[in-house]
Structure formats: structure tokens, C-alpha cells
Amino acid sequence: MVTRSSGYALAVVTGLLMALSFPKVGHPAFAWIALTPLLVALDSQPVGRAFVLGLVSGVVFFVGTLYWITGVMVVYGGLNVVSAVLANAALIAFLALFPATFALVMSQLRRASDQRALLIAPFVWVATELGRTHVFGGFPWVLLGYSQVSVLPVVQFASIVGVYGVSALVASVGAALAVAAVGRGHNLRDRTLPLAVTLVIVIGLAVWGNDRLSRNELTRAGTPIRVGLVQGNVDQAEKWDTRRAAEIFQSYLRLSEQVIGQGVDIVLWPESSTPFLFEEDRPEADEVRALARRANVPILLGSDQVDRHGEPKYYNSAFLVDRSGQDAGVYRKMHLVPFGEYVPFKRLLFFAAPLVEAVSDFSPGDRPTLLPLGSHLISTAICYEIVYPGLIRRFAADGSELLTTITNDAWFGRTAAPFQHFAQAAMRAVENGRYLVRSANTGISGVVDPYGRVLAETALFERVALVGEARLLRESTVYTQTGDVFAYVSAAATLVLLVLTHGHAVARVE
């Protein structure tokens, strides 16, 4: 039996392994064994202690992957270090409730059955990830499946079941290892058979994924397009400095002319790239339109937008100027960044008053608007909303032939966040069988093909104009057609199993 002290040690190990599964210093191999220590620690533990063990794993995991939020609040939110730590701790504590719920559910199921109940862990884990995506607006950063973005044969599975399916696949190995570890009193075959079957499934899917990569069909389909990505590298502290506005704007124009000179079909500027309101500052906006008209090239750019009908509402928006210099469409960001574009639970976070005052109070958009590119349709996701699989899948299902994303990761500095963000964006390309192009103020800008291969990327904190090759595609993946069915079935199955086992499990809370 696992002792109390060793149980907490195992919970910490799970948190560390999960954190070490993600960039920039981690390795995807750690993810496959990450859940094993926690599942072993849950053996014969009371339900209450199981919840605490899961909470410990979650806190370690999110501290290791979201540490950079504290620095953002200090540098850009006007908080002192203590207040920033408290605000980030509140977010981490909330997110840690989901691994804690996973541990509680697994403890309940385990007590109603033998060690084979651990094999349900992948579905329970996915159910909690689905909850983390949607509860209170959601924060689906570093889902377990994202750890495998660079493992191309494995990540092809996302084209069928999305990132949640990849999470389940990864979790299944950890669960099977836990069965082998805690199966006392059972013969070797019963303990190791689940692991053998799981490994056969993983290897089989990897072989299929490798075959999908070798066939490479999507890179020969559709319509080729050359994309110009502008990375202005504007320091966040200088972004709205009126003394630098003209210089920043002229820099974007010069970089755009560079990519236009190399022959492109569209130019992308980053999120909130204009140091002015595009709809309201006519002289500068007219220069952008004149450039598009003169070069005969559309320009997609990020700018704040104000709806002044009634009480003013502020939107983080993307504007498309067509090749004739006319406004072709606008998309308003639907998923806002907590502590960046709004402050959740303002009354509870009384100690973060400077942050509440510093953070702009944006309103979310209400529809996933597609943008016309000639006779084609494209979509754009602004900043962090690229980590919402359902939103990007909806773009593709509605007819988007190219996924674009514009972002400003200057807030993150040289932490792990820009690398995590880029990797999560790449998952959307695989899920939907689309090229993804990304323009980021300070990097990473780049092009990802429909199989997750990074075709071009920039370094952090350099001013650069990048030209990449992509294609406009219309074929739909299984995931685009069915969405997150796997995740919702996992959640439903978890609830059903809890109901069925409720009368058999003996819950002891210490």
C-alpha cells in the first residue's frame, strides 16, 4: 500500500513529468508515463486524499507551465510581485481542480472494482480536459495531447479525434503502466496484457500516421498560395507610445513592401499591429488601403475596434483589406484572454486592483466570421483563441480553406509561453487538414502544413518579413466533420460509470 508521504511524492512526480512534456525545455516522451505515478498513488487511498493528491499534481503541473503569467502581471499589469504571485496562484489553483477531479473520480471507480478500473483513466482525463476548455470561459492551455505535436506519426491521430483523442492515447500508456504496477496478487499475464495491447494500438496508429505522412496528399491538393508574414517586433511598452506611432506604422509598411516584392497573394500583420484605430484614423488607414491597391495584394491586419452605438464596446479585431483597397471583412475575437483582455472574478481579486485598472475591458465577438480571399474563404484566430479546438474546427467546417492566426506574444518575453503557443496552433492544422499561417508581433511567425510539419518559422524578437508557401484546401478531415465527439462521449461515459459504481464504492474521506 502506498503511504501518505510516498503518495504525495508520486503526485509531485506526475506534475513534474507533465510540465516537462511541453516546450521549451521539455520532451514529449515524458507525457506517456506522466499519469502513472499519480494513478499508483491513488491505490487504496480515501477519496478525500485522492482529491488532494490530484490537486498537488495539478499545482505542480501548472506552476511549471504557467509560471510566466506572474511576470506578465508585474511588467504589464502594474502589480507588485506579491500581488502578481497571488493572482497567478488563484488561476493555478482553479486549473488544478481539474486534475484533482480526475483523481477523485479514478479513486471512486478504483474502489468499486479491481486494478483494471485504471484503464478508464484516459476517458476520465479527457472529460476533465473538456471541462477545463469550457468552465468559466475555459483555459485549455497545455492539454496533454499538445505534448505530441512534434511527434508527427502520432499526432496524425488528431485528424480523426482531435487533440482530446491524442490526450487519451497518451494517457492510456500511463494507465496501462499503472495497472502493471499495482496489480498485486494477479499473475503476470493479467498485469501486463493491458500494457501490451495498449502498445500495439499506439504502434499501429503511429504506423498509420507515418503512412499518412508519406502519402502527403494534401500538399498536392487545392490552390497554391504565397503568404507574406510581417513580424514588426514592437516592444509592448512602446506599442501605444504616440511618439513612436509613426515609426512603428512606417516599419510595417516597409516590411509589407518587402514581402510584396517577393510575390505574395496576401500579407498578414500581427494582432493589434496598428498604433491607431483602423476604422477611425483615416490617413493611416488610407495608406494601408493604398498599398493594397497599388500592389494588388490583400492585407490582413489586427487593430482594436470601437462600437460607439450606445455605450461604447471595445473589440480586438482583424480587418481584411482586399486587393482593390476596400474593406472586405472584419472578425471580432470571441475568446478573450483572462487577465489580459478582461479580469475574471474582479471582486474576489481585490488585491489585484492595479491589474483591474490596467487591463482593457474588451467585449467578445459573437460569430466565427469568415473572410473572402477572391473566390475563396479564409479564417483568422486572434492570439490565444487558437487553443480552442472547437472554434477552429467550426471555421473549417463553415468553409475556411486556410487557417490564419495573428498574435502579439510580446507579453511573454523569452519564457516557454511563445513556444507552447506556437505548438498548440500547429495542432489545429493537423486536426482540420489545413495549412496554418501565423503572424506574431515578436515571434514565432511561421507556416505549418496540414500534417503538422513546420515549413517556415522566425526566431523570437527579430524584425523580419517572411514569405511562405501554403495551399487553399477544401477537403475535410474526420475531425472537421465530427468535432469533439470523442471528448463528449468520454465525459458521458465517465458520468455513467460514476452512477453505476456509486452504490458499490465505499467512500472514506479523511
Q: How far is Cα of residue 26 from the mean position of the Cα atoms in its chain?
A: 17
**CA gap 258, 242 in Å, rounded:** 25
Q: Are strands 464-472 and 223-231 parallel, antiparallel or unpaired?
A: antiparallel
Of 129, 383, 385, 431, the active-site residue reads 383
Lookup result for grid cell 479585431: 317
Ordered alpha helix ranges (H), 135-186: 152-155, 158-182
The grid coordinates listed for 75 are 511588467
- Which residues are CB-contacts of 104 (< 8 A; sequence separation ≥ 6)? 47, 50, 51, 54
Q: What is the DSSP letter of 332?
A: E
**CA gap 420, 149 in Å, rounded:** 10
Catalytic annotation present for 346: no
Bridge partner residues of 403 (DSSP): 379, 436
**CA gap 166, 159 in Å, rounded:** 10
Catalytic annotation present for 280: no
Q: Is the CB of residue 355 less than 8 Å from the CB of residue 339?
A: yes
**CA gap 363, 344 in Å, rounded:** 13
Catalytic annotation present for 383: yes
Lookup result for grid cell 493528491: 53
Picking from 259, 395, 339, the residue whose alpha carbon sits closest to that of residue 87 is 339
Of 129, 333, 385, 431, the active-site residue reads 333
SS3 state of residue 121: helix
Q: Is the CB of residue 442 less than 8 Å from the CB of residue 461?
A: yes
Q: Is the CB of residue 164 less than 8 Å from the CB of residue 490?
A: yes
The grid coordinates listed for 116 are 483494471
The grid coordinates listed for 323 are 486587393
The grid coordinates listed for 166 are 491524442
**Dihedral sign from CA coordinates of 59, 62, 63, 69:** negative
Query: What are phi and psi for residue 214, nearest 5 degrees?
Result: -70, -35
Picking from 332, 359, 334, 333, the residue whose alpha carbon sits closest to that of residue 344 is 359
**CA gap 506, 106 in Å, rounded:** 13
**CA gap 136, 190 in Å, rounded:** 42
Report which residue type is found at 360: S
**Dihedral sign from CA coordinates of 95, 99, 105, 111:** negative
Annotated catalytic residues are 271, 333, 383
